[in-house]
Structure 1
Amino acid sequence: MLSRFFLLTLSALLFASCGSDLDLVSKERALNGKMTYHTRSGGYSTALPSSSVVEKGHSKPKDKHGMPLYSRERLRHVRTTAYHCAEADHLQYGSMNATGTPLKYSNRVRSAAADWSVYPVGTVFKIKGMSQLFVVDDYGSALTGTGTVDIYTPSAGHMKAWGRRNVEIAIVQWGSYARSAQLLSKRTRHSHCRQMYTAIQRKLGDGAATASR
């Protein structure tokens, strides 16, 4: 009886941390050079990427989405998607990220997922038009081999409000390839983890400087 009560309480806390799913999504609006998506609980407003950053991206190699693949540039034109912790493929992890710590969503810092061989764990960036800092502390199989960044949101309504959008990001601080490799080395039974781990090892083997916090 006690264990059942504990499990019910834990489930309630988990879904509470993910936020409400009842938000309504309105049509995307472009106002004054900003893309704004709204839900009942608010919206996400991001500034349009500058033409110079978009132009520089044209000369870069492209991923499967046709977006630039960068090396060490700090200003980037990036495809973004969104996720939340009550999605079917994230449910087993609950409100925890791939480093084993809670996903972040505050007015100051928010979590993001990416291919760790592109954005090593601990990478901090800003999205043009937003005040928050984003930190890469998660990954996803659909992101592997791409430059896409997946933004953590607290509910399905917020996730739909973000949608899919191309934004300009500025790298504030690079994360650690060494720590990324250490975490992934224990998970290579999963193909996407093995792919990221191999790509990181190749970078380190080629003499790439280990990004540090």
Structure 2
Amino acid sequence: MPFRNLSLALSLLLFASCGSDVNLVSKERALNGKSSLNNKLTYPPNAGRYSTYEPSESLVTKGRSMPKDKHGMPLYSTERVRHVRTTAYHCSEPDHLQYGSMNATGTPLKYSNRVRSAAADWSVYPVGTVFKIKGMSQLFVIDDYGSALVGTGTIDIYTPNASQMKAWGRRNVEIAIVQWGSYARSAHLLSGRTHHAHCHQMYAAIQRKTGGRADTAAR
């Protein structure tokens, strides 16, 4: 893949806006939109900077024969190109304010023209995973999680305010993984949070997936 400036882009991960430490935001809100045809800009039509492109027909077709999560989306293993359900969140939501301006890694959430934060189940997308969304120029990095995401392949996209969260809504997109994150770091961060049910679930899933090696690598 032609991501020649990956090292430069990843260095921008140090810059950010606001976020959460332990993200427990409800993910079951959003706008449904109608998708367009022929790879044109997708829903909602007034999304502005959040315009994305239709997933390829071959990718969608392939996903129909794969195991599904509770949202009916494909469950992938090591594939780098994926058809993924996305939602959106922001740090000024009432149930998010208590977590301040930090994400689940202890750094501010990122929102720039080059790099933006996203949340996911860390046993599916380990912390530090970098990806692109078809139709957008930015890189996205997994540095947060949310209880409603656990057990699914859904990715929650960070937005800076409620208006832009609503503009994103809920949409299925095509992503390309640029760089996988670290299960070892994910396990290390989660190991001290297993009193939270969703953290325990992610931690246990990582241990199963790595045969317990993630804990060893993190020490």
TM normalised by structure 1 equals 0.81
Residues 97 and 137, structure 1, Cα contact 8 Å, conserved in 2: yes
Residues 43 and 161, structure 1, Cα contact 8 Å, conserved in 2: no
- Which one-letter code corresponds to 2:136 in the other structure? M
- Which one-letter code corresponds to 1:35 in the other structure? T
- Which one-letter code corresponds to 1:136 in the other structure? I
Measured after TM superposition, the shift of residue 171 of structure 1 is 0.3
1:50 aligns with 2:56: yes
1:162 aligns with 2:168: yes
Mapping 1:57-206, distance limit 5 Å: 57-205=63-211
Quote the Cα distance in structure 2 between the aligned partners of 1:158 and 1:94: 19
Aligned to 1:35: 42
Aligned to 2:13: none
For residues 62-96 of structure 1, give each alpha carbon's deviation from its aligned partner in whole angstroms, at most 9, with x where no partner exists.
00000001000000000000000011222111221
- Which one-letter code corresponds to 1:69 in the other structure? L
SS at match of 2:187: helix
Give % identity.
79
Quote the Cα distance in structure 1 between the aligned partners of 2:40 and 2:97: 36
Aligned to 1:22: none
For residues 148-205 of structure 1, give each alpha carbon's deviation from its aligned partner in whole angstroms, at most 9, with x where no partner exists.
0000000000000000000000000000000000000000000000000000001110
SS at match of 1:110: strand
Quote the Cα distance in structure 1 between the aligned partners of 2:213 and 2:184: 13
Structure with the larger RCO, 1 or 2 (CA within 8 Å, 6+ apart):
2
Flag the structure with higher strand content.
1
SS at match of 2:59: helix
Gaps of 5+ in 1: 1-16, 19-24
SS at match of 1:56: helix
Quote the Cα distance in structure 2 between the aligned partners of 1:197 and 1:89: 24
> How many pairs align?
185
Quote the Cα distance in structure 1 between the aligned partners of 2:109 and 2:76: 26
Quote the Cα distance in structure 1 between the aligned partners of 2:36 and 2:171: 12
Bigger CA drift: 50-59 or 184-193? 50-59
Quote the Cα distance in structure 2 between the aligned partners of 1:164 and 1:148: 10
Measured after TM superposition, the shift of residue 43 of structure 1 is 3.4
Quote the Cα distance in structure 2 between the aligned partners of 1:193 and 1:119: 14
Gaps of 5+ in 2: 1-16, 19-30
Residues 36 and 44, structure 1, Cα contact 8 Å, conserved in 2: no
Residues 207 and 213, structure 2, Cα contact 8 Å, conserved in 1: no
Residues 35 and 54, structure 2, Cα contact 8 Å, conserved in 1: no
